[in-house]
Amino acid sequence: MARISETPEDTSAEDMNAQAHAARLKDEVLRADPETIRLLLTEARSHNGWTQKPVSEDTLRELYNLMKWGPTSMNQQPARYVFVASAQEKQRLGKCVYGSNADKILSAPVTAIITYDLDFWKTLSRVFPHEPKAVDYFRGNDEAIFDDAFRNGTLQGAYFMFAARALGLDCGPISGFKKSEVDAEFLHGTAQHTNFLCCLGYADTEKLFRRLPRLEFDEVARII
């Protein structure tokens, strides 16, 4: 089956209202202010140490309700989240990571297990309702399911960190973990798989290291 189009064939009144709203936004807000750019990107850091200031459930809910607006292909939204906050669960997760990453998890108020769900396509009839054939495209198509789940789930992981920083939280993403062990401990019985971990909280800046260099445009990009 060919890839499903992401554009509705008919333009409804709701679509026209959305177009008008987007046009107004472009008129009102041309770009982010310099302070926001500093907060989200140019001066944002990946943190290793944490203060004891807690992260509340209300803040985690606010974080999700902000990041969920980031776009995904066909509105798939395949990312899922396990927020590890209790001392007992931190100990379990700490056993699944390498080296000093365990200390980061034990000291952070919360660590998010950011996953991708291979059953994401089963909700497409609700989140992508204008194309009823979308579910049929993925049914039994394991390669497409994995590719879309991993690709769009990773994209949502980036939205997650931007949203956290926008709310004043600090992030400490972790890739040094044993995926099979995290999956077995925390995702058993689901169709979810761990993508990466991200500590959340309010950073102890005294434990920060110098910032490492980034590659320049001409090293990584070309215009054709």
Give pLDDT, residue 116.
98
Q: In sequence order, what DSSP letters do the residues of 118-164 get, joined into one string?
A: TTGGGGHHHHSTT-TTHHHHHTT-HHHHHHHHHHHHHHHHHHHHHHH
CATH code of the domain made up of 45-205: 3.40.109.10
Nearest Cα neighbor of 73 from 155, 189, 9, 146 is 155
Nearest Cα neighbor of 199 from 179, 178, 172, 175 is 172
Give pLDDT, residue 31.
87
E strand spans, the chain: 79-84, 110-117, 170-174, 192-201
- Provide the token pair at 184: 């077995």
Give pLDDT, residue 118.
98
Nearest Cα neighbor of 103 from 114, 113, 91, 115 is 91
Domain parsing of the chain, residue ranges: 45-205
What's the sign of the alpha-carbon dihedral 168, 174, 179, 184? negative
pLDDT by 10s per residue, the chain, length 224? 556 666 666 668 888 888 888 888 888 878 899 999 999 999 999 999 999 999 999 999 999 999 999 999 999 999 999 999 999 999 999 999 999 999 999 999 999 999 999 999 999 999 999 998 999 999 999 999 999 999 999 999 999 999 999 999 999 999 999 999 999 999 999 999 999 999 999 999 999 999 999 999 999 999 99
Give pLDDT, residue 47.
94
One-letter amino acid of 142: D
For residues 23 and 123, give the distance between their C-alpha atoms in angstroms, rounded to a whole number: 30
Please report, to the nearest 10 degrees, the dihedral formed by the alpha carbons of residues 153, 155, 160, 166 taken in order.
-170
